[in-house]
Structure 1
Amino acid sequence: MDFEAMKTFVAVVDQKSFTKAAASLNLSQPTVSSHIKNLERYFDATLIDRSPKRFHLTKTGEIVYQRSRQAIGLIDKAVQEVSEYQRELGGLIRIGASYTVGEYILPPILKAFDQAYPSVDLQVRIENSKRINEAVQHHDLDVGLIEGKVTQHGLSSEPFMEDEMVVLVPEAHPIRKQSSITFADLQDQTWITREEGSGTRAMMDSMLESFNIRPKKMITIGSNHGVVQGVKAGLGLSFLSKTVVCHTGVEHLIMQLPYIKTTTRYFSIVTPMNREEISDSVDKFMEEVRALHQLSKNY
């Protein structure tokens, strides 16, 4: 099979355009079309529905696309590993981090690693935990640092840091002035939360369900900073990482509420389950993470 044809096919699907893919790959459009046709002949199937009104992958096309992305990732990793073998530790590590980890925990890790291994280039992507897991699964990233659980097939996870989820209440919220708070007082409140796929959102959903709390309204904001600012502005309550709270200087908004228990969670390192897919550079990076954030032995 033509490896260049696979790369071309992935580029066409990612950009949903033969023209844009040709430009990004510095190829002519006829060459791009020829690569796609060669793949379709190889698999004896149509991969892309070329109707004029829409760009659509066939079922076979979806399979070939996913496997092609994985194959490209593995080839790139092989090139990196050969480079590392032939010279001192170097190459590129593609790191993914959830918002909480990427914004508050990752920077000192990057600094320590960069000082120890200056020849290694670092590329960081910050997205929610679900998307980071998917990117590691598809070999678009070498390693992920996420919050929450790993559910994707073919991934291995290892906890590296403990975190605590706390309730934030606006300073002027009426509930702060009550001498006693009943379970009914906790019902029909407005809660500010992160987006679906976020580890923080999963923790809030679990908390609300576990304690049988029925929000009057949910306001979704796609960043930790936005959630904090929403609470400060009096939009509503939130259930947020204490790591975020301490780094943003809003500890005064933490409030212990009856019927809601403080919840512990863990940040985890995510890698492919197959150890052969983990380069020496990534191994050293993981060692740096463990060295800076050692969990207690009773985890």
Structure 2
Amino acid sequence: MNLRKLKIFLTVCECGSMSGAAKKLYMTQPAISQAILELEDELKVNLFDRIKKKLVLTYPGEILYEYSKRILMLIDEAQNTIKDISHMNMGRLRIGASTTIGTYLLPELIGEFKKKYKNIEIHFLIDNTGVIEKKILDYEIDIGLVEGPIHSKEIIVKPFFDDELYLICSKDHHWASRKSVKPEEIKDENLIIREPGSGTREVIENTMAKYNLSYHIKHVLNNTEAIIKAVEANIGISIVPKIAVKEKIKSGNLIKINLENICFKRKFNIIYHKDKYRPTLFNEFIEYLNSFGN
């Protein structure tokens, strides 16, 4: 069993087909099939069940899949460690950010960090908190920046920035002239909210549950900017991050409404896998994030 075969096996698992793996690895499909057959012969087990041309991992296949991820991650970390030792401030960071942070904070964060470390590679992706958590668990990214609660005990969570959610409405909404509303009034309005898995949504749901509030979800959108535009058009009300709407509130395009005795507050968190090797560059970025939040 060698690393080449493990990489081929892992790619087949992730693509769900021999043909998909062949395309991703720039190999022929027969070469992929031969590598899997050799691996199965060597291990004396079937790694896949072939059901109606669909590949389904067997129990031994599931075990090898988990080990393969860890082995290839260690190889990747070894290469990064050697690069870190030989080049000091050169290296690579893979960053994942949940939607609010990715849209409103990440560009500034990366831009400032790159001024100091010009030769590093930074790859980043933006998705909701649930997706970022999974990618940390699958070793697909090094650091996550999220606004939602994290549920896995395999992940280290460190707060770095305080955020607040604002209840907002259009300047044409019947609440627009009011300074505050009673919590029970929420149930009579059309609430526009983020999708399940969003950190913003989870904070809203948890706060509503804490105060035993009823509410009516009229629209579910997976983009904060789309929600803001819908509220501006007076399609409904919403509860969104302060950093996303502070300028529109200042200009008068949106109205911030105080919900009596209730605040929607949260921490933006740095997350990473507890088993993650932390080279110099990794630690420098964490230190930078902590200084940014202060």
Verify same fold: TM over 0.5: yes
* Partner in structure 1 of residue 202 of structure 2: 202
- Distance in 2 of aligned mates of 1:269 and 1:26: 36
* Partner in structure 1 of residue 96 of structure 2: 96
Moved >6 Å (runs of 4+): none
Q: Is residue 105 of structure 2 the alignment partner of residue 105 of structure 1? A: yes
Decide whether the 8 Å contact of 2:149 with 2:202 is kept in 1: no
- Distance in 2 of aligned mates of 1:268 and 1:219: 27
Deviations 1:176-212 (A, max 9, x none): 4679955553324221111111110101111222232
**Which secondary structure does the structure 1 equivalent of 2:259 belong to?**
coil
* Partner in structure 1 of residue 77 of structure 2: 77
Residues 147 and 82 of structure 1: is their aligned pair in 2 closer, same or farther, counting only changes over 3 Å?
Answer: same
- Distance in 1 of aligned mates of 2:118 and 2:89: 9
* Partner in structure 1 of residue 275 of structure 2: 274
Taking structure 2 as the reference length, the TM-score comes to 0.90
Decide whether the 8 Å contact of 1:272 with 1:278 is kept in 2: no
What is the aligned-residue RMSD (CA, Å)? 2.2
Residues 101 and 7 of structure 1: is their aligned pair in 2 closer, same or farther, counting only changes over 3 Å?
Answer: same
Whichever residue aligns with residue 173 of structure 2, its letter is H
Bigger strand share: 2
* Partner in structure 2 of residue 213 of structure 1: 213
Decide whether the 8 Å contact of 2:180 with 2:258 is kept in 1: no
- Distance in 2 of aligned mates of 1:93 and 1:178: 47
- Distance in 1 of aligned mates of 2:263 and 2:178: 21
- Distance in 1 of aligned mates of 2:47 and 2:288: 43
Decide whether the 8 Å contact of 1:95 with 1:125 is kept in 2: yes
Per-residue deviation, 1:31? 2.0
- Distance in 2 of aligned mates of 1:179 and 1:272: 44
**Which secondary structure does the structure 2 equivalent of 1:12 belong to?**
helix
- Distance in 1 of aligned mates of 2:84 and 2:150: 29
- Distance in 2 of aligned mates of 1:204 and 1:179: 21
- Distance in 1 of aligned mates of 2:146 and 2:136: 11
**Which secondary structure does the structure 2 equivalent of 1:150 belong to?**
coil
* Partner in structure 1 of residue 7 of structure 2: 7
Decide whether the 8 Å contact of 1:159 with 1:266 is kept in 2: yes
Residues 141 and 18 of structure 1: is their aligned pair in 2 closer, same or farther, counting only changes over 3 Å?
Answer: same
Per-residue deviation, 1:170? 2.5
* Partner in structure 1 of residue 58 of structure 2: 58
Deviations 1:246-285 (A, max 9, x none): 25x24532111336x112210111112136x112211111
Deviates more, 1:186-195 or 1:196-205: 186-195
Decide whether the 8 Å contact of 1:192 with 1:221 is kept in 2: yes
Superposed counterparts of 1:132-211, under 5 Å: 132-176=132-176, 184-211=184-211
* Partner in structure 2 of residue 253 of structure 1: 255
Decide whether the 8 Å contact of 2:17 with 2:54 is kept in 1: no
Per-residue deviation, 1:132? 0.9
Per-residue deviation, 1:220? 1.0
Residues 136 and 193 of structure 1: is their aligned pair in 2 closer, same or farther, counting only changes over 3 Å?
Answer: same
Decide whether the 8 Å contact of 2:181 with 2:258 is kept in 1: no
- Distance in 2 of aligned mates of 1:283 and 1:72: 22
Residues 185 and 147 of structure 1: is their aligned pair in 2 closer, same or farther, counting only changes over 3 Å?
Answer: closer
- Distance in 1 of aligned mates of 2:225 and 2:127: 14
Residues 172 and 59 of structure 1: is their aligned pair in 2 closer, same or farther, counting only changes over 3 Å?
Answer: farther
Deviates more, 1:211-220 or 1:92-101: 211-220
* Partner in structure 2 of residue 297 of structure 1: none
User: 5+ unaligned residues in a row in structure 2: which ranges?
Assistant: none
Per-residue deviation, 1:226? 1.2
* Partner in structure 2 of residue 48 of structure 1: 48
Taking only the aligned residue pairs, the percentage that are identical comes to: 27
User: 5+ unaligned residues in a row in structure 1: which ranges?
Assistant: 295-299
* Partner in structure 1 of residue 67 of structure 2: 67
Taking structure 1 as the reference length, the TM-score comes to 0.89
Superposed counterparts of 1:215-230, under 5 Å: 215-230=215-230
* Partner in structure 2 of residue 283 of structure 1: 283
Decide whether the 8 Å contact of 2:97 with 2:132 is kept in 1: yes
Decide whether the 8 Å contact of 1:134 with 1:152 is kept in 2: no
- Distance in 2 of aligned mates of 1:34 and 1:104: 48
